[in-house]
Amino acid sequence: MKTKTIVLSLWATIICSGSLISQNMPNEPAYYNWFDSKVQRYNTGLFNGIQYTEQYRTINEKHKFFEKSKFQLGSVVYNGQFYD
């Protein structure tokens, strides 16, 4: 009886988890986009220091830091500043 209750509660949790609602991403106000277009990326904290240059060749299209060498869309928080 006890295992039947546990199994049923696990199944109910799995079935109901598909209908959960999470937080939506807030819409950025227009002035954020305006400011970003005026400042440009070169004046942000991302461009801080010297540029990294690779000293050695890669073999078989491998990448030293990543699994793939293709760009991916994403966002990052760097020094407490959100970049998208």
What's the DSSP call for residue 47? Answer: S
Average pLDDT over residues 55-74: 78
pTM of the model: 0.37
Q: How far apart are CA 62 and CA 65, in angstroms?
A: 9
pLDDT at 83: 81
Check pLDDT > 80 for residue 72.
yes
Domain boundaries, the chain: 29-50+76-84
Do the Cβ atoms of 68 and 31 come closer than 8 Å?
no
- For the chain, where are the alpha helices, taking DSSP H only? 2-17, 30-39
pLDDT band, very low/low/confident/very high, at 8 (cuts 50, 70, 90): confident
pLDDT at 23: 67
Summarize pLDDT for 22-42 with one digit per residue, the tens. 667 667 778 777 887 888 776
Instruction: Using the Cα atoms of residue 24, residue 30, residue 35 and residue 40 in order, give the sign of their dihedral.
Output: positive
